[in-house]
Amino acid sequence: MSETSKRLGKRPDRRRFLQGFAGATALAAAGVAPRGAAADSSDPAANPLYALMGDGEHDAFGQTFDQASRTIRMPKPTAPTLSPQTAEITQQAVKTYDDIVARGGWPLVPRVDELHLGMRHPGVVDLRQRLLVSGDLDPNAVGNDIYDSYVEAAVRRFQVRHGLTPDGILRPATLAAMNVPAATRRDQLKLNISRLKTLTTNLGPRYVVNNIPAARVEAIEHDVAVSRHTAVVGRPSRPSPDINSKIVEVNFNPFWTVPVSIIRKDLIPIMEKEPDYLTKNHIRIYDVRHNELQPSQINWYSEDAVHYTFKQDPGDFNSLGHIRINFPSPYGVYMHDTPEKDLFGGDYRYDSSGCCRVQNVRQLVYWLLDGTKGWPPEAIDQAIESGDQVNARLAKPVPLHWVYVTAWSASNGVVQFREDIYNRDGLGASALPAVTKL
């Protein structure tokens, strides 16, 4: 047994371990061909790992694999998070994970600072084994300690399935997700089934989903995600709520009326330290008679400010950007553009006060207003560029669902997991075990 294995604890012989998951019969059933041979077309249902493999039709990385690697598919980008079949398909994924757990789960990957293409490291052997068990790595590609193109492609696929930046590099966030035990992932799938059963009834042909843990918005039409957008949602201290509503209106170049909660938690403390903050950010103060006041007229060392209305002028500086999407709700939240585009670039996108910021929101608005007379894409562009406040009422309101789903299997059968950012799953942060650094 290697020193690495000794430190991580006694484990079964690696050859027997791999055979338990990827014997010749299972490979044939999964449609995984030997290197250089065409993939077999036999029924894949006999192999539980096949449920983790997706449809390669829209494989963003497929062109970089050889024939054997292409038997492991990337998630299909048009497969929606919510569809009428999601709960049933997720139930099938539970059976797959039951089987993985019964076989002993997957091994821990030793902690390293970073692994990437071309590196050689003893931990890559454990990494390959981990990725094989979850169906991310070609079964032909196990055994050595080189971080080759097979491993990089498998890490990319794993990252896509876990909502991480798919750069193919093993960094702490990816490693932490890999080392969540298989039993925890199985339990995560189980508890999300009841959510999915509630959420996937009477969806209709056209709707928008904001999955909060995924920080992602989808425009779905006839069970196809026709538009998908990275989002920024509420931080854990100010969570975004679950919502079932309908989008009724789009505001171009809107004013932003600052919610009382933000006045109390943010504006008052800022103004105590930075008296010219409101002026610099084009935020005006109005009393109940709509008379404009000056910041110097407010006692910022008291709760006085919460009795006034604060409105930010339209413009590039506006916190809502150039677009706000409105829908009835008791929470006073909405979906909108933002001047802070850099917020969309990270894996951790839980930074708002409850609203949902949407990347490339103009594309979503094109889809929402399709069919509304007078609002073709060029009219939308003109409204935005005019700088004037203009409202567009949807001819037919579009159903909207803000949901909290941390694990699911989409229509292409690829299982997805997201961080339980609001700790609503009840599985606990202790699911991330400590591992030994080599």
Decide: helix, strand or coil at residue 272: helix
The answer to whether residues 192 and 401 touch, using CB atoms and an 8 Å cutoff, is no
- Rounded CA gap, 329 and 249, in Å? 13
Instruction: Give tens-digit pLDDT for 38-94.
Output: 222 222 222 333 334 333 333 333 333 333 344 566 778 888 999 989 999 999 999
The answer to whether residues 311 and 255 touch, using CB atoms and an 8 Å cutoff, is yes
pLDDT at 200: 86
pLDDT at 411: 75
pLDDT at 72: 67
| 1-22+49-74+106-180 and 201-407 have identical folds | no
pLDDT at 141: 83
Torsion of CA 61, 66, 69, 70, to 10 degrees: 60
Catalytic residue positions, numbered: 336, 355
pLDDT at 7: 35
In the chain, which residues have pLDDT < 50? 1-70, 429-438
**56 CB burial (10 A radius; 0-12, 13-18, 19+):** middle
Architecture category of domain 201-407 in CATH:
Beta Barrel (2.40)
* E-strand stretches of 72-163: none
pLDDT at 93: 95
Q: Name the nearest CA neighbour of 195 among 282, 288, 99, 86.
A: 86
Quickly list H helices, 166-276: 172-178, 182-199, 260-262, 268-273
Residue ranges of domains in the chain: 1-22+49-74+106-180, 201-407
pLDDT at 1: 40
pLDDT at 165: 94
CATH dotted code for 1-22+49-74+106-180: 1.10.101.10
pTM above 0.85, yes or no: no
Instruction: Give tens-digit pLDDT for 241-252.
Output: 999 999 999 999
